[in-house]
Amino acid sequence: MIETEAKIPIEKQDLERLIEKLGTPEFFNQENIIYDFGESALRIRAEKGRTIITYKGPLEKSKFKSREEIEFSVNANPGKVARFFSMLDLQETLVYKKQRANYKLNGCTISLDILENNSHYIEIEGSETDIEKTIQALGLTDKPIEKRSYPDILGGKNGMHRKNL
């Protein structure tokens, strides 16, 4: 499946304004363990008692960030999956945490993210047309689109460090 999203950095006051438009958020914690392979990556994500494995392929040409994504849940805790990956000689590149709240609007999934470094982002995932409508509806047309991934934003191997899972 191809995932297309717009990731937009926002200030705290933007976050508050978006919450007024979208409604009271139900933030939950996520922990992400990244295995970087150049243009593609594997991710172990822990959220709401679930462990989700995701493959992210190379970026495709698109106005927004677009890439192949394969995702599935496993019935094991993230520490066990990380240990399994290490047995396959895969090396963690980055571990980071964030708080996330999800919404639906205009056929898009909207995520408000607060990273460990206290930076704020909104991710809008859907078709290019629906993303454009949603950006306009939320009053974000003057904001830059960030095409880097959170691991790139946080600095990869020199970024956040492994936390207890």
Residue 110 CA to residue 102 CA, distance in Å, equals 6
Residue 110 CA to residue 112 CA, distance in Å, equals 7
- The amino acid at 6: A
161: confidence class by pLDDT, cuts 50, 70, 90 = very low
pLDDT at 159 over 50: no
pLDDT in tens, 28-79: 999 999 999 989 999 999 999 999 999 999 999 989 999 999 999 999 999 9
Whether 30 and 54 have beta carbons less than 8 Å apart is answered as no
154: confidence class by pLDDT, cuts 50, 70, 90 = confident
Whether 17 and 149 have beta carbons less than 8 Å apart is answered as no
pTM confidence score = 0.90
Whether 125 and 108 have beta carbons less than 8 Å apart is answered as yes
Secondary structure element (H or E) that encloses residue 34, with its range? strand 28-37
Q: Which domains does the chain have, with CATH numbers?
A: 2-153 (2.40.320.10)
